[in-house]
Amino acid sequence: MAQKELLKVTNLKQYFPIKGGFLGRTVNHVKAVDDVTFEIFEGETLSVVGESGCGKSTTGRAILRLDEPTAGEIEFDGGDLLALSKSDMRKKRKDLQVIFQDPYASLNPRQTVAQILTEAMAIQNVIPKKERRKRAIELLETVGLNAGQIDRYPHEFSGGQRQRVGIARALSVNPKLIICDEAVSALDVSVQAQVLNLLKNLQREFKLTFLFIAHDLGVVRHISDRIIVMYLGKIVEIADKKSLFDNPQHPYTKSLLSAIPTPDPEAKKERIILKGDVPSPIDPPTGCRFHTRCPFATDLCKTEVPDLRNLDHMKEGHRAACHHIEKIVTGDMQPT
């Protein structure tokens, strides 16, 4: 049985204007996300990875319309998100929630946990007023905290506990899609594992769908069903978890995977070191964005943007944006 498509993003662009001059006119743009297309199916975890500044978090914010997209289409649960008015979008956010990176900054320090959780229920009017506190206690226990902590303030919790409160807040309005924006990157490694396992359990229990934004490939490997790799505002590869880790196609993906540390100190692993720095999104390279750092780049890469495509030797659904994948795979092209 085919999976139901919950979210479809088509040709999404997010440009931020740069103002300059005496009159403050727009002199250029930061091209944070540039022509991104993907879909998320009900019940899956789709992860987005890449270096800092590649457009991961901006993509998530654009879907939520925390930043209004410059161009493109966003369809959610059969409807057009970009066609909604601000008031209608506010109502739709009941189905679209977010867990932020910083558990210290994402909770109001002047509110108790009870107020934080019941406020969301009140705004979306999902639960009668008399039942909200009881529901808040149930949510706390669901995320691994106890009822006695319901009247505490955020500063009385550890970082991992605060993130659990953030997860409970996201669950409080019964969402369909939760965007996890670096949701575990600020936590200790041992706490990260606990929170990741909690998210997987909650996904099964509440039939949730996750867009998981991260830079840690070890974390992504643990929680993902499919993975998107982004570079400088573009998708360079998308595949299911096993295909991506076992058979990466794009040179950038290969370099990222080669950087994952191995627990065995005697294990030999080839490290792919990229030359140069990430170009500025204000003036990105023409053609393939990665060509300035790619060991296989040719004149074609400098002038033409590669399509995100599936090839015969790649598993169905595994797509990569590179002009020379076939030659690289067969060994007909060697790095320069």
CATH number of the domain encompassing residue 82: 3.40.50.300
Asked if residue 168 belongs to a domain, the reply is yes
Asked if residue 230 belongs to a domain, the reply is no
Same domain, 79 and 4: yes
Domain around 89: 1-95+175-224
How many degrees, rounded to 5, is the angle at CA 178 between CA 172 and CA 182? 115
Closest CA to 325 of 300, 299, 296, 290: 296
Which are the contacts of 117, defined by CB distance < 8 A and separation ≥ 6? Answer: 132, 135, 136, 139, 140, 165, 168, 169, 172
Same domain, 189 and 165: no
pTM: 0.92
Asked if residue 239 belongs to a domain, the reply is no
pLDDT at position 43 over 90: yes
Residue pair 226/239 in contact (Cβ under 8 Å)? The answer is yes
Asked if residue 312 belongs to a domain, the reply is yes
Residue pair 144/164 in contact (Cβ under 8 Å)? The answer is yes
Q: What share of the chain is helix, strand, coil (3-state, %, to 5)?
A: 35, 25, 45
Phi and psi of 59, rounded to 5°?
-60, -45
pLDDT at position 270 over 80: no
Beta bridge partners of 227: 47, 239
Asked if residue 231 belongs to a domain, the reply is no
CB burial of residue 306 (10 Å; 0-12, 13-18, 19+): buried
Same domain, 114 and 77: no
What is residue 24's predicted lDDT score, i.e. its pLDDT?
Answer: 83
pLDDT at position 272 over 50: yes
Same domain, 61 and 181: yes
Asked if residue 305 belongs to a domain, the reply is yes
pLDDT at position 52 over 90: no
Distance between start and end Cα atoms, the chain:
46
pLDDT at position 147 over 80: yes
Asked if residue 49 belongs to a domain, the reply is yes
Sign of CA dihedral 295, 297, 302, 305: negative
Same domain, 90 and 182: yes
Between 289 and 184, the more confident residue is 289
% of the chain exceeding 70 in pLDDT: 99
User: DSSP letters along 123-157, please?
Assistant: HHT-S-GGGHHHHHHHHHHHTT--GGGTT--GGGS
Residue 152: count other Cβ atoms within 10 Å of its Cβ: 15
What is residue 1's predicted lDDT score, i.e. its pLDDT?
Answer: 44
Residue pair 5/78 in contact (Cβ under 8 Å)? The answer is no
Same domain, 44 and 130: no
Same domain, 190 and 313: no
Same domain, 189 and 117: no
Same domain, 314 and 255: yes
| Residue after which a domain boundary falls, among 174, 195, 213 | 174
Average of per-residue pLDDT values in the chain: 91
Same domain, 311 and 287: yes
Give residue-wise pLDDT tens across range 103-140.
Answer: 888 899 999 999 999 998 999 888 999 999 999 999 99
What is residue 217's predicted lDDT score, i.e. its pLDDT?
Answer: 86
Task: Count structural domains, the chain.
Answer: 3
Asked if residue 14 belongs to a domain, the reply is yes
Same domain, 125 and 191: no
Same domain, 266 and 194: no
pLDDT at position 308 over 60: yes
pLDDT at position 286 over 90: yes
Q: Calculate mean pLDDT across residues 20-27.
A: 84
Between 188 and 248, the more confident residue is 248
* Strands ordered across the beta sheet of 79-80: 25-41, 5-20, 71-76, 79-80
pLDDT at position 154 over 90: yes
What is residue 2's predicted lDDT score, i.e. its pLDDT?
Answer: 57
pLDDT at position 20 over 90: no
